[in-house]
Amino acid sequence: MTAISATEEVRARVETALKRCGVDPAAFAGDGVTARTPVTGAPLFDLRAHGPAEVDRAVDAAHEAFLTWRTTPAPVRGALVKRFGALLSEHRQDLAALVTAEAGKIGSEALGEVQEMIDVCDFAVGLSRQLYGRTMPSERPGHRLMETWHPLGVVGVISAFNFPVAVWAWNAAVALVCGDTVVWKPSELTPLTALACAALLDRAAAESDAPPHLNQVLLGGAETGARLVDSPLVPLVSATGSTRMGREVGPRVAARFGRSLLELGGNNAAVIAPSADLDLAVDAAVFAAAGTAGQRCTTLRRLIVHQDVVDDVTDRLSAAFRVLPVGDPFRDGTLVGPLVHGAAHAAMRAAVERAVAQGGSVLAGGERELADLAPDAHYVRPALVRMPAQTEVVREETFAPVLYVLSYRDFAEAVELHNGVPHGLSSGIFTRDHGEAERFLAADGADCGIVNVNIGTSGAEIGGAFGGEKDTGGGRESGSDAWRAYMRRATNTVNFSGRVALAQGVDFSG
């Protein structure tokens, strides 16, 4: 029988990790936010939610800090992020324990998330010497035309429960080297990991003689986030979460001509072509669909398999799903931890019921597990559902481990099915046919922000720009040139000719 950690054991781990990171939860005690653990479903600490006046004060303090930080040389800003990355490395086990306790991720995935923070700090340190602007040839003699990138201001970061630390770090590390300051509203489901990260960044700032209030945390739910969204002193709101949240946040920021960077839901698919290496494809699909208990924005939710290999693929996947170790994410050997709460479980059950009503058949999984040992937690066996067509439920994101399998006859049909959903985050094709792979990557191929070949949909590296199209919101974060969203561009023309020369040959001399 698989044992589940006792709530007291989880609380003790959390207290130890918080203490090592410099956080005393008693200092945040109060009403409004309850830190829980999905490992047992039990509450851990009651914390005080920040009200509107505190949101305003945090934004004012961040703006004040920005006025100093924006003129601090970028490589000096990079030195702070370097120190922060070193502290993250030192505390990687503590932070991973908090991620497991609050988000339910297995040890290896929790450590992977902390590694993403460390990696993006490395990236940002390098970036601090590479915030390049272009010089363009001027059409006028004796003139120079160029662009300069300047810090933008306070960046409001709103993050989701399922990447409780990495998403903030993608934003914060890049924003800080760009000369911005940060006010962070983490998910109300993961307040403790946020407090720990913020304490480490405060320590790095103090050791680096940086101004105070470069990064602040606001605890609370949607109302706290909404106050941040509406603040005129926040020129950029970077919001990660459901498409529902993005539909509320995007127009509010636009109404005051702010910028928003939206990282919303996904309904990701992979195509398995007849030429695919099926061992590789099935292994990759199992992780992409069942890893993080199906609670990644990039989780594989639809598998589009050529009709010649679909039975073989579903047999292999069914066998794999049936033996996946589901259980306590703190235990070695577990691969699938709990769902975050009962509502996620109810959504999964409802989706599977609707899929069956729409003609689907459940080939494996879908059952609740370990309810006798942890009646308030929600452990499930990932579900594999064969569908006759891309029905309504298949076109929606259900944030739980349900993998729908569809079959196709030719490549054009595969792409049509692939693109035939509202979201556009991550995609993949498994094939040994080079031409087919290129067609999937081409302008009329997959319509997502992330398009992979012989790789599943989840598990992106920080070096690329991360984000997606359509109902995923269009934002890009992390690597490549995503930094530009955190800065303002000034176009500069310098006249050293000693006379007035108007552009486009305009003559105003009379």
Kindly state the tokens that stand for 493.
Answer: 């023309």
When the beta carbons of 52 and 221 are compared against ligand NAD, the nearer one is 221
Report the nearest approach of ligand NAD to the CB of residue 167 (Å): 6
CA dist list (Å): 122 to 82, 90, 247, 437, 465:
7, 15, 33, 32, 15
CB atoms within 10 A of CB 205: 21
Residues that bind ligand NAD (CB under 6 A): 158-163, 167, 185, 187-188, 221-222, 225-226, 229, 240-242, 245, 248-249, 263-266, 297, 397, 399, 425, 472
- Please say if 109 is a catalytic residue: no
d(CA 115, CA 96): 9
> Counting beta carbons within 10 angstroms of the beta carbon of residue 203, is it exposed (0 to 12), middle (13 to 18) or buried (19 or more)?
middle
Q: 94 or 263: whose CB is closer to ligand NAD?
A: 263
Handedness of CA 346, 349, 353, 356 (dihedral sign): positive
> Which CB atom, from 263 or from 436, has the smaller least distance to ligand NAD?
263
CA 380-113-398 angle, to 5 degrees, is: 35
Catalytic, out of 263, 369, 397, 436: 263
CA-closest candidate to residue 340, choices 162, 474, 482 = 162
| DSSP string covering 218-237 | ---SHHHHHHHHT-TT-SEE
Beta strands 135-136 and 143-151 are: antiparallel
Compare residues 110 and 205 and give the one whose CB is closer to ligand NAD.
110
Q: Where are the beta strands (DSSP E) in 264-420?
A: 268-272, 300-306, 361-364, 368-369, 379-380, 383-386, 402-408
Give the C-alpha separation, 174 to 364, whole Å.
43
Taking the complex as a whole, how short is the minimal distance between the CB of residue 184 and ligand NAD, in angstroms?
10
Comparing CB distances to ligand NAD, the nearer of 116 and 188 is 188
Which candidate, 309, 262, 314, places its Cα nearest to that of 285? 314
Q: Pairing between strand 379-380 and 368-369? A: antiparallel
Quick one: 431 or 457, whose CB is closer to ligand NAD? 457
- Which residues are identified as catalytic? 263
